[in-house]
């Protein structure tokens, strides 16, 4: 395999990731199917696809569970690159297609822009590490249309 050497603004390998989920897609267990793909230098570095470990109550929650799994993998790969001497200065772009309304989107929950008192409290408490990654500059989350997501679960 040979990937073109694309670089970010500070000379580090360019990185981005897509995640997607389909809510309650397993007809027997009603668990959602989700997954992610991580890219750098024009190629796929890591991917995962399968049933999520928990039953989610909404499409927003299932998308957020996929986003959290993606975030964990991004943190691991960034640490691995740092140990190899290739520290990334720019946040990794996490692309997400769940944007039903500004107050309940998984992106709003990830960025800590929603109240913990609403329908997303269980998501907010359980997966707070995505907001932490955003604050630390490890990741940034952006909405893209479903057609722009490379991974369709």
Please report, for the chain, the start and end positions of each structural domain, with discontinuous segments joined by +: 15-148
Q: How far is CA 86 from CA 81, 96, 106, in A?
A: 5, 26, 30
Top-confidence range, 31-40, 51-60, 109-118, 135-144 = 31-40
pTM: 0.78
**Cα distances (angstroms) measured from residue 25 to each of 15, 63, 109, 145:** 30, 13, 23, 20
Over residues 78-86, the mean pLDDT reads 92
**Averaged over 41-69, what is the pLDDT?**
88
pLDDT for the residue numbered 153: 43
Reported CATH class of domain 15-148:
alpha beta
What pLDDT does 110 receive?
A: 63
Q: Using the predicted structure, report yes or no on whether residue 53 has a pLDDT greater than 50.
A: yes
């Amino acid at each position: 395999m040979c990937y073109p050497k694309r670089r970010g603004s500070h000379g580090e390998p360019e990185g981005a990731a897509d995640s997607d989920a389909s809510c309650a897609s397993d007809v027997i267990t009603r668990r959602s199917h989700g997954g992610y793909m991580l890219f750098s230098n024009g190629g796929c570095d890591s991917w995962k696809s399968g049933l999520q470990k928990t039953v989610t109550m909404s499409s927003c929650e299932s998308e957020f569970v996929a986003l959290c799994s993606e975030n964990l993998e991004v943190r691991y790969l960034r640490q691995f690159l740092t140990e190899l001497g290739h520290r990334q200065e720019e946040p990794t772009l996490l692309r997400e297609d769940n944007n039903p309304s500004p107050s309940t989107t998984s992106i709003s929950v990830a960025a800590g822009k929603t109240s913990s008192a609403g329908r997303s409290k269980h998501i907010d408490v359980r997966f707070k590490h995505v907001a932490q990654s955003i604050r630390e500059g490890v990741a940034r989350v952006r909405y893209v249309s479903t057609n722009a997501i490379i991974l369709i679960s």
